[in-house]
């Protein structure tokens, strides 16, 4: 079958819905494309990530700010005794001073701010991929739950079709009255399983609605193709794509940020200059004079060695964190790949042998039962095998599609699949 991977769909969703009304299924039905678009637009996790970008942008702006100048007013030789009584001998000074940062401290702060902003943007990209992947998994869970109920409905209807024939056989003495109770037990067990499936569906619908930013499902059903499969490329072919995952790519920005913070820590002991110019008035002689001052901190006791050591360790920690994160993602990718491959092989076995044989057996036994050639027990056993095979196929399909969504969420790109079977 031809796949339209959910990541690619999400990237083009706005254009798609603006130009193609057919992207929506029938009224009240939710498609995967629409579910992903709603999740990307409304999920609060993505909104929170956007706020983090805004916070980082504000810090970047503040990092480039130049220190404000200081203004001061001094009154000397006033309000004393003798010649200094009152203000007749007062000296007044109005001074304007400015801190001049040396050593590139401002540039280092700006570099830290830029890197922090890049980290926030990568984090938003990672959250977006996670939301898309989680939404696809939840969507397929709802789709599978709907199909599970349909399987039970089909089998219940099949048993109910046999009931009138069974009743006639009992009345004719060809079957024991106990077989009527046995058939009813089989129907009731299927109904109980169907109720459990309905509970699973309700839970899956609520999870999907929550991912789309809602509090309750506002759709009647989901529509999509759960039956398509395909064989993935080799694990080595997709392993290299893992480095493009935003969760790993953000470590490049974290490395730059750590380097900038280390540089900033090393520059902090570099003395800054405070230059000032003042105007002084001597009231006793009514003379004026200018005053120029320059001062600097002598880094004698505090050379910021502790913060330098901490920044150096933080730089090394970034590398360790990246290695740990990559190992975790690689393990998740490997598990998803093996699950997908195993599910594809399981589906192939079920479709090539188990399901066709189960259908043929049920058809033959239903026909033969009406002719009195088979017992009810044989018919019930064949239908139970049919239900089990159908549910096994459904679980394998769900594993296949959820694993596919997980892999595409990890590599950040569509996974190429060879043509597979579709039902």
CA 183 to chain centre: 48
Domain-located, residue 260: yes
Between 201 and 78, residue with greater pLDDT:
201
Same domain for 278 and 400, yes or no, is no
State the sign of the Cα–Cα–Cα–Cα dihedral 264, 267, 269, 270.
negative
Say yes or no to pLDDT of 12 above 90.
no
**Domain end (from 255, 281, 303):** 303
Q: Indicate whether 399 belongs to any domain.
A: yes
Is pLDDT above 50 for 6? no
- Look up residue 74 and give its two tokens: 């001094």
Regarding pTM above 0.85, the answer is no
In 10 A of CB 56, how many CB atoms? 20
What does the alpha-carbon distance between residue 233 and residue 130 come to, in Å, rounded to a whole number? 22
What confidence category does residue 18 fall into, taking pLDDT thresholds of 50, 70 and 90?
very low
What is the distance between the alpha carbons of residues 286 and 270, in angstroms, rounded to a whole number? Answer: 42
| Among candidate residues 280, 303, 326, the one where a domain is terminated | 303
Q: 135 and 236 share a domain?
A: yes
Same domain, 280 and 344: no
Distance between CA atoms of residues 404 and 399, nearest Å: 8
Q: 374 and 262 in one domain?
A: yes
Is position 376 within any domain? yes
322 lies in the same domain as 397: yes
The answer to the question of residue 1 being in a domain is: no
pLDDT at 170: 62
Structural domain includes residue 218: yes
| 240 falls within a domain | yes
Least-confidence region, from 95-99, 100-104, 366-370, 371-375: 371-375
Question: Same domain for 218 and 351?
Answer: yes
Residues 45 and 133 in one domain: yes
355 is a domain residue: yes
Segment (H or E) for 82: none
401-420 b/e (C-beta count within 10 Å ≥ 16 → b): bbbbbbbbbbbbebbebeeb
Q: 142 near 205, Cβ under 8 Å?
A: yes
pLDDT in tens, 323-360: 999 999 999 999 999 999 999 999 999 999 999 998 88
Give the C-alpha separation, 403 to 399, whole Å. 6
Q: Per-residue pLDDT tens for 149-163? A: 999 999 888 888 777
The string of pLDDT tens digits covering residues 226-263 is: 888 889 988 988 888 888 889 999 999 999 999 999 99
| 325 and 368 inside one domain | yes
CA 368 to chain centroid: 54
3-class state of residue 274 by DSSP = strand
| pLDDT tens string 301-324 | 889 899 999 999 999 999 999 999
Q: Are residues 312 and 257 in the same domain?
A: yes
Which two structure tokens, joined as six digits, stand for 395?
């679980």
* Domain range for 216: 6-65+104-268+305-419
Residues in the chain: 423
Same domain, 221 and 253: yes
- CATH code where residue 294 lies: 2.20.25
Strand order in the sheet with 273-282: 70-76, 91-100, 273-282, 287-296
- Domain endpoint, select from 303, 327, 353: 303
Does 315 share its domain with 385? Answer: yes
**Residues 75, 181 within the same domain:** no
Question: How many folded domains does the chain comprise?
Answer: 2
Mean of the pLDDT values across residues 274-284? 88
The token duo for 237 is 């072919």
């Amino acid at each position: 079958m031809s796949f339209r991977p959910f990541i690619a769909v999400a990237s083009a969703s706005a254009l798609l819905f603006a130009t193609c009304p057919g992207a929506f299924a029938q009224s009240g039905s939710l498609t995967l494309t629409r579910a992903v678009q709603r999740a990307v637009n409304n999920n609060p996790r993505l909104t929170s990530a956007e706020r983090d970008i805004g916070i980082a942008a504000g810090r970047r702006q503040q990092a480039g700010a130049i220190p404000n100048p200081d203004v001061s007013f001094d009154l000397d030789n006033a309000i004393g005794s003798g010649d200094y009584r009152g203000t007749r001998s007062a000296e007044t000074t109005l001074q304007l001073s400015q801190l001049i940062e040396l050593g590139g401290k401002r540039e280092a702060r700006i570099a830290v701010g830029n890197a922090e902003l890049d980290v926030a943007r990568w984090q938003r990209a990672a959250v977006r991929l996670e939301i898309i992947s989680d939404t696809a998994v939840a969507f397929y869970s709802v789709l599978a739950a709907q199909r599970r109920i349909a399987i039970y409905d089909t089998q219940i209807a099949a048993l109910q079709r046999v009931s009138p024939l069974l009743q006639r056989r009992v009345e004719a003495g060809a079957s024991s009255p106990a077989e009527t109770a046995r058939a009813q037990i089989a129907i009731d067990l299927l109904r109980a399983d169907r109720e459990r499936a309905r509970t699973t569906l309700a839970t899956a619908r609520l999870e999907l609605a929550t991912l789309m930013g809602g509090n309750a499902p506002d759709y009647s059903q989901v529509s999509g193709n759960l039956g398509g499969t395909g064989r993935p490329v080799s694990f080595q072919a997709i392993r290299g794509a893992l480095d493009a995952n935003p969760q790993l790519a953000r470590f490049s920005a974290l490395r730059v940020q750590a380097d900038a913070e280390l540089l900033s820590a090393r520059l902090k002991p570099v003395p800054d200059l405070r230059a000032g110019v003042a105007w002084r008035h001597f009231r006793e002689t009514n003379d004026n004079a200018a005053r120029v001052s320059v001062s600097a901190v002598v880094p004698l006791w505090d050379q910021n060695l502790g913060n330098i050591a901490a920044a150096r360790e933080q730089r090394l920690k970034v590398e360790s964190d990246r290695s740990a994160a990559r190992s975790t993602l690689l393990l998740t990718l490997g598990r998803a790949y093996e699950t997908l491959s195993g599910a594809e092989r399981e589906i192939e076995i079920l479709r090539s042998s188990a399901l066709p044989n189960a259908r043929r057996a049920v058809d033959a036994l239903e026909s033969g039962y009406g002719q009195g050639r088979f017992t009810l027990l044989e018919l019930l056993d064949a239908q139970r095998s049919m239900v089990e095979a159908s549910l096994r196929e459904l679980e394998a399909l769900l594993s296949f599609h959820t694993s596919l969504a997980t892999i595409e969420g990890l590599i950040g790109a569509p996974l190429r699949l060879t043509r597979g079977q579709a039902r």
